[in-house]
Amino acid sequence: MKAKVIILISVLIFLAGCSSIKGAIPGMGKKNNEAEPAKLESFIEKARLQRVWKASSGKIKKNNKQIQPILIDTTLYAASSEGVITAFDANTGKQFWSRKLKLALSAGVGYGDGLLLAGTENGEVVALYVSNGKPAWVGEVKGSVLASPEGGKNIIVVPTSGNRLVGLSTTDGSLVWTLQESTPRLLLRGRGRPLVVSDVVFAGFDNGKMMLIRLENGQRLWEVRVGDAVGKTEIERLADVDARPIIIKDTVFTAAYQSRVIALNVPSARMIWENKISTNKDMDADGNYLYVIGEGDVIFAIDQKTGKTIWEQDRLANRGLTPPAVLGAYILVGDKSGYLHLLEAGTGEIVGRAKAGGELLAQPVTRGHSAWIQTVDGDVYAWKLVE
């Protein structure tokens, strides 16, 4: 319950946008009531992280996990809350270009159809040409952009407040379709990033549903209830699907807050398995396991075939962990104190640690034995795994 700001929605707020409420959950906004973060303990080092380069991209507002870097080919793109988007050589940190927008950003960077994508609290969607950062267009959607827009052929998909998913034209940002679900009275701040695969979109919603949607026209192909909104209070009935779906062959993995992680067969929408782990953070996967940050920042590995928990690691409990990222044979997570932690993928054992700088919110970007991170202070780092 600590990972997101809670929003109470009434009819007026629904029309005007969302507003944050501190204290809606015990401990929210009251630091003295928050669970004590686990102290860092000694460990046997089996791998280490070596810093390759450092650059700056502009500051990020605290608790805005909807801003995260993206790697396309050999270029890393990073955004700031102030509206700066910068392109770096992923290998050297050399800056290719930097664009200062006249808009403050709430989400980004996304990508689709040759465009870099970002959004604002006021419903602007910004598209830049990936090659040079020049503006392509600025579109408008109803509500705030609460997760990075993602694109496919001809269509940009934008998750917004009001439990909407909007399709915009990649040509000029004009509205193509809108899909809206019922909105719970109480929900977690933010939305999950949609996953565009070929001509379809996998997307989660605040009412506990995940849908498969046709990209070109927003048609629902199927929907599954992932989150069970049960309980006596509005807080107990929170069941947002905020983790970005992961698809491997014909299986899609998704999760809901205060509910479960599930695996679905894509063609039939049949549930293969469920595991009663609650999460509202993005997950990651390798060839065997699914890696999940549960409540209280307990890290889990789940067998992709059976759904059984293989291991759990609680030595980093309540440290404000980022979503996990697979890095070689290890799992990489950051925390709000600016530390990076390496866990052995097969056992969950902590085997490496490095101090990265400021608070970390976004999921690390990884490829092979390389990792890139962005701090709220605006620093961008490249790291290399050394075994």
pTM of the entire predicted model:
0.91
200's CB contacts (< 8 A; 6+ apart) are 212, 213, 214, 215, 221
Residue 287: what are its φ and ψ, rounded to 5°?
-75, -15
For the chain, state the CA radius of gyration.
20
Peptide bond connecting 176 to the previous residue in cis, omega within 30 degrees of 0: no
CA distance linking residue 188 with residue 140, whole number of Å: 23
String of b and e for 296-319 (b: at least 16 CB within 10 Å)? bbbbbbbebeebebbbebebbbbb
226's CB contacts (< 8 A; 6+ apart) are 204, 208, 209, 210, 239, 241, 254, 255, 256, 259, 260, 262
What is the per-residue pLDDT for 65?
A: 84
Residue identified by tokens 């509202």 is 280
What residues does 331 pair with on adjacent strands?
326, 343
Helix (H, G, I), strand (E, B), or coil: what is residue 13?
helix
Positions in the chain whose pLDDT score sits under 70: 1-33, 186-187, 231-232
Residue identified by tokens 């701040």 is 189
Q: Tell me what percent of the chain is helix, strand and coil, each rounded to the nearest 5.
A: 5, 45, 50
What is the per-residue pLDDT for 328?
A: 97
Taking a C-beta distance cutoff of 8 angstroms, is the pair 314, 270 a contact? no
CA distance linking residue 329 with residue 268, whole number of Å: 33
Taking a C-beta distance cutoff of 8 angstroms, is the pair 127, 139 a contact? yes
CA distance linking residue 281 with residue 63, whole number of Å: 13
Element (H, E) at 325: strand 325-327
Our CA dihedral for 324, 202, 74, 94, rounded to 10 degrees, sits at: -70
Q: Which of 368, 220, 197 is nearest to 286 (CA)?
A: 368
304's CB contacts (< 8 A; 6+ apart) are 248, 251, 253, 263, 285, 288, 289, 290
Single-letter amino acid code for the residue at 129: Y
CA-CA distances (angstroms) from residue 258 to 83, 184, 271, 364?
34, 15, 18, 24
Q: Which of 285, 241, 246 is nearest to 259 (CA)?
A: 241
CA distance linking residue 116 with residue 96, whole number of Å: 15
Taking a C-beta distance cutoff of 8 angstroms, is the pair 380, 369 a contact? no
Residue identified by tokens 């602007």 is 124
What is the per-residue pLDDT for 13?
A: 36
What is the per-residue pLDDT for 12?
A: 34
Cβ neighbour number for residue 34 with a 10 Å cutoff: 14
What residues does 119 pair with on adjacent strands?
107, 125
